Chains A and B, each alone.
Chain A
Amino acid sequence: MGLLERSRTIAKPGWSRWLVPPAALAIHLSIGQAYAWSVFKTPLEKALGISGTASALPFQLGILVLGLSAAFGGTLVERKGPRWAMFVSLVTFSSGFLVAALGVATRQYWLAVVGYGLIGGIGLGIGYIAPVSTLMKWFPDRPGMASGIAIMGFGGGALIASPWSSQMLTAFGSTTNGIATAFVIHGVVYAVFMSLGVLLVRVPPPGWRPAGWTPSRAAVRKLVTIADVSAGNAVKTPQFWLLWVVLCMNVTAGIGILEKASPMIQDFFRGTPTPVTATAAAGFVALLSLANMSGRFVWSSVSDLAGRKNVYRFYLGFGAILYAAILLAGNSSTALFVVAAMLILSFYGGGFATLPAYLKDLFGTFQVGAIHGRLLTAWSVAGVLGPAIVDAIADAQKRAGHAGPSLYSLSFYIMISLLVVGFVANELIRPVHPRFHEPTAAADSAGGAGAAEPKDPSAEVPIESAVN
């Protein structure tokens, strides 16, 4: 385990911090494959004779375990360091595919669910949070951009996996043997690809700062004393729960469109002079993916200049206006619908990517990865809430004989309300009360996770933050 120890990952003088983003991307581009699970659904249903609900189980369990492992494993990730975490992610994510391959080859579907969903899900959660605090330490001058690069990778993972997996199934066939072979290749290739991240990741030496950067230069608007808050204390603060609400509302609003994008645009413009075909709808879904992915990098980078609170005002406030614009325009303009949906999805991605930097602003870098992991439970809730709202209402409206935009009008009113709730929660966020801060000496000498990671000296200096 020596190679994986935190102390063995400290960068030597001269190590370029620009080697850390590709290390993070090697992990996130791999685990982002989860969003391309749907490629395997129909082949699994045909090969094993299972239902659509059953074929979704590995993905659903994977996302559930992602949230749980990020929430409960975050402190361990902070203590053990990024290389250990990335290695755990590599082993579990890749072996999950191999176990799933065994399950499909032997027609023991439960084994595929356990392999991909449970074992692989641990890899998703640990891998998602693994590089976050490391990137924050390497890029204290541009934390939004740094986390944006990594989290953009999670969005990009599906772009790679979707066509790649499809081509593999075409080559090997959609039989049990063909799917199992594809799973084995996925497991092996992802293990090799992720190994770059494991080998390349470094933590900066204690006291390291970018040349010419001082904490006071992080000043944007409001003076905030940034000390360090432990993950245990963070969950006791109102700021944590307000951010939880912000994330949950923002994700719910985005995922409501994302999950039903293809039928939604076809329903919207059915019977109009400009109907949208299923093929064109596939193009719309691809555009939304592009907006989701690029929003992660662009908006989180913008947050370094505009401040986290302002950029979330934009996501939530402008997002609500865009939903209202779709409602008002109805099915009169395809272009307006497409552009508004793309912007909403870019805010959805931006909300994910800006979050670690917002947490750093509020709680410091001390245990930002662990805090991030706990906050991701909002994602799990939103992942259920968003599709449930849109699907239930659309189904009810269809049963009532409605068609066109009216299938989704009520859903969109609800999304606007949720975004307003998120906007208000964001407005209520203030600097964390000093009673939650880690006493410097205590943090230095205490056991456990708190002491395991040397405090970033820059975080001990009262700095003007970009929170507001």
Chain B
Amino acid sequence: MADTPRDDTGDTIAPEDGMATTTGAAEADAAAGTKEAAEEAAAAQEPGAAGESGVAEEAGAGAASGDGVSTSRVALLVVAWLWVAAPFLYGVYQLIRTATKLFR
């Protein structure tokens, strides 16, 4: 059961962004012999397991450290959404320009 992902304090992780992880269910999976689930749980506990991209390291660490890292997580959210929103808004703008032709 030591492989089950958990936070520093116990069974239920309640990260800053308002999510919860019920690890009891994961333990039940591992107890039932879910080899792959247990491996994944172990992988989840490995430092950097989810953070190959760099950005993940920052955000993941954010749960455990101070405001500076929380800020970087917010920054990551902003960058990620801007990354997809900017071209999308360009497309919507072009579409609206075309659509107005119907009313001319």
User: Which residues of A are at the interface with B, using a C-beta cutoff of 8 A?
Assistant: 3, 6-19, 22-23, 25-26, 29, 153, 156, 158-164, 193, 196, 199-200, 202, 204-212, 276, 279-287, 289-290, 338, 440-441, 444-445, 451-455, 457-458
Contact = CB atoms under 8 A, between A and B. Distances in A.
B2 interface: no
Contact of B80 (A22, A206, A208, A281): A22
A459 B17 CA distance: 23
B31 to A, nearest CB: 10
B40 A454 contact: yes
B23 A8 contact: no
B16 interface: yes
Given A8-B52, A10-B43, A206-B5, A29 B59 contact: no
B103 to A, nearest CB: 7
Contacts of B32: 440-441, 444
Contacts of A200: 53, 55-56, 80
B76 A19 contact: yes
A14 B24 CA distance: 18
Given A15-B50, A211-B18, A25 B29 contact: no
Nearest to A27: B84
A207 B19 contact: no
Interface in B1-47: 4-5, 7, 13-29, 32-37, 39-41, 43-44
B92 A159 contact: yes
Given A16-B17, A280-B101, A280-B102, A159 B28 contact: no
B28 to A, nearest CB: 7
B80 to A, nearest CB: 4
A451 to B, nearest CB: 6
Contacts of B17: 14, 16-18
Given A15-B56, A19-B80, A457-B25, A206 B98 contact: no
A202 to B, nearest CB: 6
A454 B84 contact: no
Contact of B101 (A161, A279, A455): A279
A445 B28 contact: no
A29 B100 contact: no
B88 to A, nearest CB: 5
Contact of A15 (B36, B60, B102, B103): B60
A16 B90 contact: no
21 contacts: A6-B40, A8-B49, A10-B40, A12-B63, A14-B15, A14-B17, A25-B88, A153-B84, A163-B94, A196-B83, A200-B55, A205-B21, A206-B29, A206-B40, A207-B26, A209-B20, A281-B102, A286-B99, A441-B33, A454-B40, A455-B37
B56 A338 contact: no
Given A159-B91, A205-B41, A210 B20 contact: yes
